Structure 1
Amino acid sequence: MTSFHFVGIKGSGMSPLAQILHDMGHDVQGSDIEKRFFTQVPLEERGITILPFDRNNIKPGMTVIAGNAFPDEHEEIDEALKQGVETIRYHKFLGDFMHNYISVGVSGAHGKTSTTGLLAHVMQGGADTSYLIGDGTGKGYEDSKYFVFEACEYRRHFLSYSPDYMIMTNIDFDHPDYFADIDDVFSAFQDMAKQVNKGIIACGDDEYLQKMVANVPVLFYGFNEENDFQARNVTTSTEGTSFDVFVRNEYFASFQIPTYGDHTILNALSVIALCHYEGIPTESVQEQLKTFKGVKRRFTEKKIGSRILIDDYAHHPTEIKATLDSASKKYPDREVVAIFQPHTFTRTQTFLEDFASCLKGADHVYLCEIFGSARENHGKLSINDLKERVDGAEILTAEDPSPLAKHEDAVLIFMGAGDVQKFQESFEAYLNENN
């Protein structure tokens, strides 16, 4: 048993890694700022100690795992280095850790978290599978055969890893604060492809992924006929979505998922392809797909009175379009209301016209002030620049959510990667007070 101390334990990757190591029987503690984050809930449920930052937290014999947000000058990292305590950066530790298992990374501009959660759930039906998901969820099994993890392309972080398999969901221009353009994003994925050891499962409907060059087999999935794994005969019902899978144009099997929208079919197809390649029984895959409950902040639904409230992480035009599409398919007879909080001024400026275009998929739009990053200079850009591009859009504040009350029997979708949840919480409080 090793004693681990996490510097920045509430991080979206750090928290699940701490959970995994705790589940595997190690002694785990960590430190972070006082502010409350949803990522600390599963730590607290496991009884993992969370301390304020203090150099006295560092003790001889520990292994210190340092979050990437903290420089070597941080008091705890500085103390660990002074004491000669083993200190490893998060990505380096994770890169080494995964070599103990058959490792499967999930990367892509969109759908990473949902696909990682789905893959972990489905593979669990075949063998013990430890997993690390970007929504702050982790689970470790001492005798794991597989390790499934979310691999983010931001700042090329995923190049710290050399997994056995990689699922690549799509390539799109996101993170304009780091990537120069879509070709820069593609180059990162191309570099990643060269580091995969056994095979790549890639969406063949994506024009950039089709250009991928790799040293291992690449299996393509999608709706187009030239894909190795193709979805056909899609039908939707109140239970979800059903579809047939053809492998190289021959019927393979039929599957059902409790979700809606083409993007959810593609996520499932990638999982089906990986499990087929690894020899996990088809019947197990079919059963597990039916029972997936979703991941945090991805189309998370709550019914209050006659309204459906949905919390969703969508913060890029492609994701917003997919979320609105899912809502309209699941609730075709209800008004769909978008409450959108743009995330970062850089992204808002880059995709201003695209945001306006995709929000037209909602019946009514409310806009919240831009959630900016401390690192950026926002100039003169404001939420009004987006409002004037969206017909009928209104500005919403957390202090007064009452305009939403006129939408009875509606589906209200709170979207964003900042703190858009506070608008939903404010509206729920308003409804409780005025019922």
Structure 2
Amino acid sequence: MDNIQSIYFIGIGGIGMSNLARYFMSKGKKVAGYDRTETPLTKELVKEGATVHYTDDVNLIPAYCKDKDTTLVVYTPAVPSDNEEVKFFNERGFTIQKRAQVLGIITKSSKALCCAGTHGKTTTSSMLAHILKQSHLDCNAFLGGILKNYNSNLMLSDKSEFTVIEADEYDRSFHWLHPYMALITSVDPDHLDIYGTEEEYLKSFEKFTSLIQEGGALVIKHNIKLLPDVQKDVRVYTYSIDKGDFHAENIKIGNGEIRFDFVTPDKVIKNIQLGVPVKINIENSVGSMALAWLNGVAEDELRHAMTTFQGAKRRFDFLLKTDKIVMIDDYAHHPEELAASITSVKELYPDRKVTGIFQPHLYSRTKDFATEFARSLSLLDELILLDIYPAREKPIEGVTSQIIFDKVTCPKVLCNKQELLPLLVDKDNIEVLLTIGAGDIDQLLEPIKEILERKR
């Protein structure tokens, strides 16, 4: 890394890629990159000093990124193989690495605390990073969401030995990491375009657990179907909302607050209050506090951190909250995540109508889980279903949002993004609106919020 003067990112606007870009800029490196579309995140990177363009054109690559001896190229597996810039760097013998490879190198010499799982990993890693940052331990962190407390997905410390990492299982990326301790939130099958079967998906998590260093620890969700493969002297703990070595007791929900007692293997820490008072965050906080506790965070530090945690953007994110209308945005894009998100909203607002706007993410995921998506979305009082966001994929014949729509049992509307805003303008009975999905639905959040504000 000492010989590298510039880093070029192919897919620089991705949430994981952008924190690496910020890291290298903090180290005085020149940073440039390509992404398909301009977003608020790429605009922030440009403000911070990066050079970014949005057309797959090798002529737009800055001259300082065309010297293979001083340039490292970082790419995300989500970028198609026919990308012209990828071909350019490959043909000329540049050092090209996946984001996870680079992250593994950067964090190898630190105590890496890695949060993995089909869902929940962004929230738990963000909570863990905030706990450590507010404690005497401090931390570095590479997160998969923009943490509201810091308005960033990157945290840096020149004194802490800890690095919090959101460990992504897509394309087996988390196998490049070197965990000191790890948390696994869930292993519901996903990314079957990569893994093929649930069995292979589970094997990938088992391989991840084998990477935990001797003397480290694994905190794993109670009763999930995974047999961890750990080295000798790696301690294994379980957690959940109400069972396991770490869990919650004496839960009190009401008056817009959630409080509970945090149970550890050797102590009960009373009266934890959640800064983001959503029921699914009880379990998320138990997992993140477990890792923090195992590394020596004090009781008072835990309490203060959980009370002051503001959450990550697009993770159960309240965008509008009035007596008449509530708008919540959530990144949920897997059937289990959808069910948890919708159930949490309905528990918060049991007497209000909950309308959901869902944008499916990936043709392959839609094909694999159409029935499960429909079952989860049917928990809504009303559904507005958008077209599939393709991301890295080419269309699959016969796979559209219609295959979900036909199986949904609640009142429903199917529309494209262009039709959505006029549809909302004409709707009179919106009480709680939940926007859900991992695609580009976030680019519609502000105009949707403006429409709802005019209805107040």
**TM-score, with normalisation over the residues of structure 2?**
0.85
Is 1:283 paired with 2:300?
yes
Aligned to 1:311: 329
**Identity across the alignment (%):** 25
SS in 1 for 2:195: coil
Aligned to 1:321: 339
2:282 to 250, 265, 279: 265
Aligned to 2:102: 93
Is 1:419 paired with 2:440?
yes
Is 1:247 paired with 2:264?
yes
Aligned to 1:14: 17
Gaps of 5+ in 2: 55-59, 147-152
Q: State whether residues 335 and 411 of structure 1, in contact with CA within 8 Å, keep that contact through their aligned partners in structure 2.
A: yes
Aligned to 2:406: 388
Is 1:153 paired with 2:169?
yes
Q: State whether residues 199 and 218 of structure 1, in contact with CA within 8 Å, keep that contact through their aligned partners in structure 2.
A: no
Letter of the 1:64 counterpart: L
Aligned to 2:149: none
Gaps of 5+ in 1: none
Q: CA deviation at 1:290?
A: 0.8
**d(CA) in 2 for partners of 1:102, 1:413:** 38
Letter of the 1:399 counterpart: Q
Letter of the 1:134 counterpart: G
**d(CA) in 1 for partners of 2:220, 2:392:** 35
Q: CA deviation at 1:132?
A: 0.9
1:64 to 72, 75, 79: 72
Q: State whether residues 3 and 63 of structure 1, in contact with CA within 8 Å, keep that contact through their aligned partners in structure 2.
A: yes
Aligned to 2:111: 102
Q: CA deviation at 1:151?
A: 0.8
After superposition, the C-alpha distances for 1:74-101 in whole angstroms (9 at most, x for unaligned) are 558856985x876554322211110232
Aligned to 1:134: 144
After superposition, the C-alpha distances for 1:98-134 in whole angstroms (9 at most, x for unaligned) are 0232111111000111111111111101233111112
Match runs of 1:40-55 below 5 Å: 40-50=42-52, 53-54=60-61
Letter of the 1:203 counterpart: I
**d(CA) in 2 for partners of 1:122, 1:428:** 31
Q: State whether residues 310 and 412 of structure 1, in contact with CA within 8 Å, keep that contact through their aligned partners in structure 2.
A: yes
Answer with 172-181 or 233-242: which moved more. Answer: 233-242
Answer with 372-381 or 154-163: which moved more. Answer: 372-381
Compared CA separation, residues 11 and 340, structure 1 to 2 (3 A): closer
1:189 to 201, 205, 214: 205
**d(CA) in 2 for partners of 1:113, 1:38:** 19
**d(CA) in 1 for partners of 2:41, 2:91:** 27
Match runs of 1:109-120 below 5 Å: 109-120=118-129
Letter of the 1:328 counterpart: K
Answer with 407-416 or 360-369: which moved more. Answer: 407-416
Compared CA separation, residues 91 and 50, structure 1 to 2 (3 A): same
SS in 2 for 1:284: helix
**d(CA) in 2 for partners of 1:78, 1:376:** 22
Q: State whether residues 239 and 247 of structure 2, in contact with CA within 8 Å, keep that contact through their aligned partners in structure 1.
A: yes
Letter of the 2:65 counterpart: I
SS in 2 for 1:357: helix
Q: CA deviation at 1:155?
A: 1.3
Compared CA separation, residues 407 and 340, structure 1 to 2 (3 A): farther
Letter of the 2:427 counterpart: K
Letter of the 2:364 counterpart: T
**d(CA) in 2 for partners of 1:57, 1:67:** 18
Letter of the 2:352 counterpart: R
Paired residues, number = 431
Aligned to 1:354: 372
Compared CA separation, residues 432 and 95, structure 1 to 2 (3 A): same
Aligned to 1:175: 191
Q: CA deviation at 1:314?
A: 0.8
Q: CA deviation at 1:332?
A: 3.0
Q: State whether residues 171 and 206 of structure 1, in contact with CA within 8 Å, keep that contact through their aligned partners in structure 2.
A: no
Compared CA separation, residues 235 and 77, structure 1 to 2 (3 A): same
**d(CA) in 1 for partners of 2:389, 2:225:** 30
**d(CA) in 1 for partners of 2:219, 2:370:** 29
**d(CA) in 2 for partners of 1:290, 1:41:** 31
Q: State whether residues 131 and 147 of structure 1, in contact with CA within 8 Å, keep that contact through their aligned partners in structure 2.
A: yes
